[in-house]
Structure formats: C-alpha cells, structure tokens
C-alpha cells in the first residue's frame, strides 16, 4: 500500500517508483508538446537514461523529486526541488504536468504551492529560483499567482526549434511566502 508523503486538497505527492512511473515519464518527456515548454532536454530520453536518473535519486540529498497523483490515484506528473545548496539555502523548483488531460485544471498551481511550502517550511530553504521560457504563459501565470519576483531575462538563452529563446528568471523568497 502506497502512502503519500505530502497530502494536498486535490493531489498528493508520492515517492517516485521506477516500475510505476517510468513508462509515463518517458512518454511525457519525449512528447513534442513537453519539449516546447521545458528548458531542458534536447535529446530524446531513453529507458537507460531515465533508469540511471532513478538510481541517482536513491540517497540523493541535493534533489528531491515526487510523483503527483490525483486523489483517485491517477499519476499526472512530477515535481521536484533540484540543485539544493544547503549552505546558501537555495534550490531550483521544477514541475511537469505530463498527463495532457490534467493540464489547465489548477493541479500545477496546487503542486507548485505544495512544493514551495515543503521547500521553505520543511527543508528550511530561503530562496527558490526558476527558469521559465518567456513563451510559457501557463508556467509564468502560475509563478505570478504564487508570488514570484521577476529577477531578469536571460536573452536568447536556450536554443530550441531553430531559434534562441529568452528565459525569465523568477524567484520565490521564504520571507515573502510567510507573509502570504
């Protein structure tokens, strides 16, 4: 029986399980739609690459990744805190709502809210810094709703689909999160 690690209103976070989650992850990360909005991944993700990713997560104290499940058990995506700097108390949040049927329903906002709360109140981090494609309106809107601060634009920062694209650098700060 699986037990959620973090319980939300409509979603829960579970520990990633290779057997359960890997097939969906491969399908989602290799889709053309996800390729357009993720700032990572110009090469296809194969089974061996993703298996190594799961192996590296075991015992990893600098990255925390969860599977997002709806209350009915449906697996819809992943969320994580990456590159944790325990001295500076900073990290990068990341979220993927991989299931196309789950997009646009507020699950991403709830997941990001839960992740930020976990980072600030359980891991005691001070700052989360995210890179978001300038054209990724859904992610930008979610970040704004949750109180991000715009820190700058990385001009022509990532090359995708034959062009260099701008990336916005946004941050969440613990002191602002406490006030909200």
Sequence-distant contacts of 109-114: CB under 8 A, at least 24 apart: 109/142, 109/145, 109/146, 110/8, 110/9, 110/10, 110/11, 111/8, 111/11, 111/13, 111/68, 111/77, 111/79, 112/79, 112/142, 112/143, 112/146, 113/146, 114/6, 114/8, 114/11, 114/13, 114/79
Query: What residues does each domain of the chain span?
Result: 6-179
161, pLDDT greater than 70: yes
* pLDDT tens readout for residues 97-141: 999 999 999 999 999 999 999 999 999 999 999 999 998 898 999
Class of domain 6-179: alpha beta
pTM passes above 0.85: yes
Condensed to tens digits (0 to 9), the pLDDT of residues 60-91 reads 899 999 999 999 999 999 999 999 999 999 99
95, 132 contact by CB (below 8 A): no
pLDDT over 70 for what percent of the chain? 94
């Amino acid at each position: 029986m699986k037990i959620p690690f973090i319980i939300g209103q409509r979603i829960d976070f579970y520990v990633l399980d290779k057997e359960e989650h890997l097939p969906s992850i491969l399908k989602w990360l290799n889709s053309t739609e996800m390729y357009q909005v993720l700032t990572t991944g110009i090469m296809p993700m194969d089974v061996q690459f993703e298996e190594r990713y799961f192996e590296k997560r075991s015992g990893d104290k600098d990255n925390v990744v969860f599977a997002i499940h709806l209350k009915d058990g449906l697996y819809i995506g992943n969320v994580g805190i990456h590159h944790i700097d325990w001295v500076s108390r900073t990290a990068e949040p990341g979220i993927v709502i991989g299931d196309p049927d789950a997009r646009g329903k507020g699950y991403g906002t709830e997941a990001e809210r839960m992740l930020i709360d976990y980072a600030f109140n359980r891991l005691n981090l001070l700052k989360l810094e995210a890179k978001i494609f300038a054209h990724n309106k859904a992610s930008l809107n979610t970040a704004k709703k949750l109180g991000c601060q715009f820190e700058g634009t990385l001009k022509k920062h990532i090359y995708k689909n034959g062009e260099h694209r701008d990336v916005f650098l946004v941050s969440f700060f613990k002191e602002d999160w406490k006030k909200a």
